[in-house]
Structure 1
Amino acid sequence: MTIARGELWGGRTLLIVLMAITILPFISIFMTALHPSGSVPGGLDWPATPQWGNFAEAFRVAEMSTLLASSAFIVLAVVPISLAISTMAGFAIGHLRIPGSRFLLFLFVFGLTLPFGGIIVPLYYLERDMGIYNTRLAIVLPLIGLYMPFAVFWMRAHFVNMPTEISEAARVDGASLWSLFWRIHLPLARAPMLSLGILMSVWTWNQFLIALVLVEDPTQRTMAGALGAFQGHYATDVPLLCAGTILIVLPTLVLFILFQRQMITALLQGSVKG
């Protein structure tokens, strides 16, 4: 009993320490954003007169309304297409066990090892030759391809655990392959699809490297990518830069808080079924 209680308190202490390590930088950025513009605050220092107007100023200076529209367009272009392709591929590889499925799975797993930084230079020359450099397509198309290894692996993990009896019963009732996927398995895959969609939305919204290298116009980038141009112009104004950072992070934070239960459910789904 004593050992179990010690393990319990040890685990709680570790979680509290990790939570503090994670939250403290955000608290520091938030406090810095409230200092007078042009000042150089020091760490966790609450200002005597908080400058809440820094957020409105950062929103105006960084043209956040334009960046919000650009980021929303990129997310809406990347996530639905990636979800559709990865769900069908995961169904074919994980449940139908099509010929060569193991080799295809190996290729997708191998794709997980490719770093973004290692392919950014070939992407630059390829998109320049295709004529899509410095457009939103320069961000959308690479992200769809780069998300496929993880997305297919994620959806395959769901479909591989689905009982074959469901498909056999549907086939006996005369269901076609498309009906089997669309009417039976797709509704059952809502939880992993929702979680995958949230993850890809957050990754796309926060995409920095690809947006910074492949798009010169800051208004065509994601919000995180445009932060590079914002930093270049206002690097000496630390409070304004921190205010802009918070405005960029806030939408993804709200999204995660709203859908955290669905994400946890999907993450635990494989362990419950496995």
Structure 2
Amino acid sequence: MTTSRAETAMNYLLLVVVCAFALGPIVVVLVTSLQPDLGGGGIAWGNYAEAWSQGSFARYLRTSALVSATVLVVALTASVLAGYAFGTMTFRGSTVVFSLVLVGIMVPTEAIVVPLFYDLRTLGLTNTLWAVAFPQMAQSIAFGSYWMRAYFRTAPRSLMEAARLDGASERRVLWSILVPVGRPAIVTMTVLVFMWTWNEFLIPLVMSPNGAYRTAPLALALFQGQHVQATSLLAAAAVLVALPVVVVYLFLQRHFIRGMLEGAVRE
């Protein structure tokens, strides 16, 4: 099937329009972050240094990195194990258990955050790393189990059977064969979980009321309240907070896109 020049031109035009809508706000924020607040000329690179020092973003970015790393390590490990069990094994009650896991995806954070706060306060965990990380671990494991189950269900059975015939244990089949082959799916899940954890606002706000584990998005909101008129500083602070997610995505984008395309085909 051939495509006419008019259709090709319309496709490219549509892509340009979509890219403009997607990249336009980013360009506006970047340009605004480099403008002097007093209307002077030139590029004000100092806005970033000033926002960094005034907002104490070094501390809050470290907190976000710690929370994100903790959630990632636990969620990725648990999701791979659960996805392998649900995707390759048959056991009594597996459908019921998997349905319960999916509840974690369907229930919104707003519906559980208040009772969860009281439960964690009873256990003496509020204002700790675990109060901020545990709820996000649970949500990420629910999604990750679903995501990895879809991958393991389509993994080559012949490869697994050949490994078992050679005497490989289930652990070796998983970590030495399936995990390396499934790198795109795992990287995609890594990027999504990191992005969701880094951008989470409500859970750190509620679970750490004294601000001991205030994350970067919370710090940005506080900074915004203190600098309502300083649009350049606000834009610079927003860039600082968003930069780690952009860097992680750019570093892993090839595997991320490949994993998303494979997941779409499998579904």
| Residue type of the alignment partner of 1:6 | A
Quote how far apart the aligned CAs of 1:273 are.
6.1
Residue of structure 2 in register with 1:23 after alignment: 23
Identity of aligned residues (%): 35
User: Take 2:213 and 2:169, find their aligned partners in 1: how far apart are those partners?
Assistant: 43
Q: Does 1:120 align with 2:75?
A: no
Do structure 1's residue 105 and structure 2's residue 98 form an aligned pair? yes
Q: Is the 8 A contact 1:218 1:225 kept in 2?
A: no
Tell me, in whole angstroms, the C-alpha distance in 2 between the residues paired with 1:269 and 1:224.
Answer: 32
Describe how 1:200-215 pairs up with structure 2 within 5 A.
200-215=193-208
Contact 2:150 2:266 in 1 (8 A): no
Q: C-alpha displacement at 1:2, in angstroms?
A: 8.3
C-alpha distance 153-110 of structure 1, shift in aligned 2 (>3 A): same
The equivalent residue for 2:32 is 32
Cα distance in 2, alignment partners of residues 147 and 28 from structure 1: 32
Equivalent AA in structure 1 for residue 118 of structure 2:
Y
Pairing 1:10–2:10 present? yes
Q: Does 1:171 find its partner at 2:164? A: yes
Matched to 2:17, the amino acid is V
- Where do 5+ consecutive residues of structure 1 fail to align? 42-46
The 1:115–1:172 alpha-carbon spacing in structure 2 relative to 1, beyond 3 Å, is: same
Q: 1:90: which partner in 2? A: 83
**1:153-232 alignment runs, 5 A limit:** 153-218=146-211, 220-232=213-225
- Whole-Å separation in 2 of the counterparts to 1:267 and 1:181: 21
Cα offset, 1:192, TM superposition: 1.2
SS in 2 for 1:259: helix
Deviations, residues 155-213 of structure 1 (Å, cap 9, x unaligned): 11110001222222222222222222222222222221122112211221222221222
Q: CA deviation at 1:78?
A: 0.6
The 8 Å contact of residues 34 and 52 in structure 1, kept in 2 or not, is answered as yes
Aligned residues of 2:128 and 2:212 also touching (Cα < 8 A): no
CA contact (8 A) 2:79 2:141 kept: yes
- Residues 61-84 of structure 1, C-alpha deviations (whole Å, 9 max, x = no match): 111221222112111111011000
Query: Which residue type is aligned with residue 121 of structure 1?
Result: V
Query: SS at 1:263's partner residue?
Result: helix
Give the direction of change, closer, same or farther, for the CA distance of 1:251–1:35 in structure 2 (3 Å limit).
Answer: same
Asked if structure 2 preserves the Cα contact closer than 8 Å seen for 1:136 and 1:221, the reply is no
The SS at the match of 1:245 is helix
Between 1:137-146 and 1:218-227, the stretch displaced more is 218-227
TM-score by length of 2: 0.90
Which structure 2 residue ranges, 5 or more long, are not aligned? none
Question: What is the count of residue pairs matched by the alignment?
Answer: 267
CA displacement 1:190-238 (0-9 Å, x = unmatched):
2211221122112212222212222234452221122122222223322
Q: What is the rounded CA distance, in whole Å, between the counterparts of 2:90 and 2:219 in structure 1?
A: 43
Choose from 45, 58, 61 the match for 2:54.
61
Q: Is the 8 A contact 2:132 2:207 kept in 1?
A: yes
Task: Name the CA distance, whole Å, in 2 between partners of 1:125 and 1:113.
Answer: 22
AA aligned to 1:255 is V
Structure 1 residue aligned with 2:71, among 54, 69, 78? Answer: 78
Q: Does the 8 A contact of 1:87 with 1:155 survive in 2? A: yes
TM-score normalised by L of structure 1: 0.88
Comparing 213-222 with 224-233, which one deviates more in the overlay? 213-222
One-letter identity of the residue aligned with 1:232: G
| Pair 1:248 & 2:265 matched | no
Secondary structure of 2:167's match? coil
